Amino acid sequence: KAGVTQTPRYLIKTRGQQVTLSCSPISGHRSVSWYQQTPGQGLQFLFEYFSETQRNKGNFPGRFSGRQFSNSRSEMNVSTLELGDSALYLCASSYQTGTGELFFGEGSRLTVL
């Protein structure tokens, strides 16, 4: 069974640019959550999608957005990048929402210069 796939794995952007990250969940999983991981703040919840609907959103500015497609694949977008957006962005999938373990992808490491 293939795991959670995130692309791209590494990317470098400059301030003001935007970025789109992609996540393909484990087959059959309908819930996709996104987390931002930084050394100082740990794992911070961005948002969760279940069956193409955003179920919950963390305390991030509106520059952070996401969506989920009918095949459960998800994308997140960050517009007008700031230096502080440099982080590892992790996607996690689960079969259901609100219960069970999360299966994390390898992450997309974003560096903003």
Partner 1 sequence: GQQVMQIPQYQHVQEGEDFTTYCNSSTTLSNIQWYKQRPGGHPVFLIQLVKSGEVKKQKRLTFQFGEAKKNSSLHITATQTTDVGTYFCAGRNYGGSQGNLIFGKGTKLSVKP
- Which chain residues interact with partner 1 by CB under 8 A? 31, 33, 35, 41-45, 47-48, 50, 55-58, 90, 92, 94, 97-98, 100-107
**Residues 66, 78: Cα–Cα separation, whole Å:** 9
Choose between 12 and 43: whose C-beta lies nearer to partner 1: 43
CB of 71 to partner 1, least distance (A): 19
Query: How many other C-beta atoms lie within 10 A of the C-beta of residue 69?
Result: 12
Choose between 24 and 94: whose C-beta lies nearer to partner 1: 94
Q: Are 77 and 22 in contact (CB under 8 A)?
A: no
Query: How many other C-beta atoms lie within 10 A of the C-beta of residue 44?
Result: 14
Choose between 16 and 43: whose C-beta lies nearer to partner 1: 43
